[in-house]
Amino acid sequence: QVQLVESGGGLVQAGGSLRLSCAASGSIVSINAMGWYRQAPGKQRELVAVITSDYIRNYADSVKGRFTISRDNAKNTVYLQMNSLKPEDTAVYYCNKRPPLNDYWGQGTQVTVSS
């Protein structure tokens, strides 16, 4: 059973930065496209960033130029560097395959950006 554990969230002021990590229990990071998703209160979960096994990256328009997704296959870990954070980035952030599998959703990590 694959487990994905997100960490690195916290409370930050607008304009600040955070780096999220997603550690996988298996080797899925190196062989699959991986994504970061987020869910804000009262909203549907949305895809924020994707990185393929060939290191092709794509971002939601709302985070383009501010967020960077990366992966370390040796550590089975995916990262999300978030800069110039805005209050609207406040959400619980999750990682999963792209497309996601229901069994892989973890607890997520809370990111709160104050104005």
Cα→Cα distances 74→1, 28, 67, 109, Å: 19, 11, 22, 23
Confidence of residue 62 (pLDDT cuts 50, 70, 90): very high
The CA distance from 113 to 91, in Å, is 9
pLDDT for res 107? 95
Average pLDDT over residues 2-6: 92
The pLDDT value recorded for residue 2 is 82
Confidence grade of residue 100 (pLDDT, cut at 50, 70, 90): very high
> Which band of pLDDT confidence, cut at 50, 70 and 90, is reported for residue 102?
very high
The 10 Å Cβ neighbour count of residue 78 is 26
* 5, pLDDT greater than 90: yes
